[in-house]
Amino acid sequence: QVQLQESGPGLVKPSETLSLTCTVSGYSLTSGLHWGWVRQPPGRALEWIGSINHRGTTYYNPSLNSRVTMSVDTSKNQFSVRLSSVTAADTAVYFCARDGGDGYKFGVFDFWGQGTMVTVSS
Amino acid sequence: EIVMTQSPATLSVSPGERATLSCRASQSVSSNLVWYQQKPGQAPRLLMYSASTRAPGIPARFSGSGSGTEFTLTISSLQSEDFAVYHCQQYNNWPLLTFGGGTKVEIK
């Protein structure tokens, strides 16, 4: 069974950089597919942040493009996201998810992590 | 950017009744649309892909329809475990993915 688990600080100060890692089990990142990050501010809609494949090719939401960096570490079966210059508007639950598995087209997230709450506050 | 709009924001339904949720795209997404179900404190769960195909393990009371810009998710007879928030998301414009605002299905 594919499982994803987010990890990282739950509290980040304004203007600093938010950094999260997603550890994948039950599936090797080197087998292909894409891996994404999605966030959900409290009481609001889901927002796609970006996606990465096992080669490190990245795709970012244009609204966050200048602040987002994603990376992959296939030796640890992990992928990560960094969001710089955070403000209170970046407070959200952050999810990692598998994109395009089991024959789905890319853009279909079939497995998700449980999510991690990140609060931006001084 | 393709904007996804869901309606209504909240739907009050009695158990056993039918629920009909709508999702509209600002431009055609063909049939490249998914529906997710999300319960409080949980991650979204894939319900439907290609607008009308149920994901593995999803009960037959869930059905999806539509193409282009207008989509519908129907739950034929609501069970207690179906009260949740439902999100639509287009992937026609992959890798630029966009979600709707969600519809909360609550107990009437």
Q: List, for chain A, all residue ranges whose pLDDT scores fall below the cut of 50.
A: none
Share of chain B above pLDDT 90, in %: 97
Does pLDDT of B18 surpass 90?
yes
By C-alpha distance, the chain A residue nearest B103 is: A45
Strands B103-107 and B10-13, bridge-based pairing: parallel
Chain B positions in Cβ-Cβ contact with residue A114 (cut-off 8 Å): 42-43
Handedness of CA B27, B76, B45, A46 (dihedral sign): positive
To test the contact with chain A by mutation, choose from B32, B42, B46 the residue with the greatest count of A C-beta atoms within 10 A, namely: B46
Confidence of residue B108 (pLDDT cuts 50, 70, 90): confident
Closest CA to B60 of B41, B46, B77, B85: B77
Q: What is the C-alpha separation between B6 and A112, in angstroms, rounded?
A: 22
Q: pLDDT tens digit string along B23-65?
A: 999 999 999 999 999 999 999 999 999 999 999 999 999 999 9
By C-alpha distance, the chain B residue nearest A57 is: B95
Which of B 9-48 lie inside 8 A of A, CB atoms?
32, 34, 36, 42-46
The whole-number pLDDT of residue A110 equals 95
Q: Look over chain B and give the mean of its residue pLDDT values, rounded to a whole number.
A: 96
Q: What is the C-alpha separation between A39 and A48, in angstroms, rounded?
A: 7
Q: What is the C-alpha separation between A49 and A38, in angstroms, rounded?
A: 5
To test the contact with chain B by mutation, choose from A3, A109, A116 the residue with the greatest count of B C-beta atoms within 10 A, namely: A109
- What HEC string does B79-90 produce? CHHHCCEEEEEE
Q: Helix, strand or coil for residue A31?
A: helix
